[in-house]
Amino acid sequence: MNTMDTLIKELERAGLFNKDSDYEGMIGEAVKELLLTFQKQGHSGFSAQLTASIFHKLVKGEPLSALTDDSNEWMEITDGLFQNTRVSTVFINKNESPKPYTIDGKAFSDDGGKSYFTSRDSRVYFDLPGYPPKTEYVILKAQP
């Protein structure tokens, strides 16, 4: 059995081709198609890891280079409020601060970490050029 057969068997073992799985088996087919394309590209060990890492960042919506103050990276949503065109969770509200912030810089839990929510307090500011900070998960203490 070759590597591709092994990977497809993994998808089968996970039930991803089953009609009762998420999206009626379409996820298994989509991943299989990506694997076949990846195989056709003929990557070695290092190029395979590098390609997979870059692809993973892009599909998660992460930037590959620092965000900047270049006006082409920003669109005005309302008067003074700009959204980054590369990372949709990053804003600058020029009526409040010249610094950008991410709206999911902090996620809060009030049930011990079973679920999380964001609020205005989730904003975390950062400098340009730069990357938005990773989300910090905060478990709130129970109120007496």
pTM here? 0.80
pLDDT above 60 for 1: no
Question: How many other β-carbons are positioned within 10 Å of the β-carbon of residue 8?
Answer: 19
Average pLDDT value for the chain: 94
Alpha-carbon span 115 to 134, nearest angstrom: 18
The beta-strand segments (E) located in 21-121 are 74-78, 81-84, 90-93, 101-102, 106-109
**120-124 contact pairs (CB < 8 A, 24+):** none
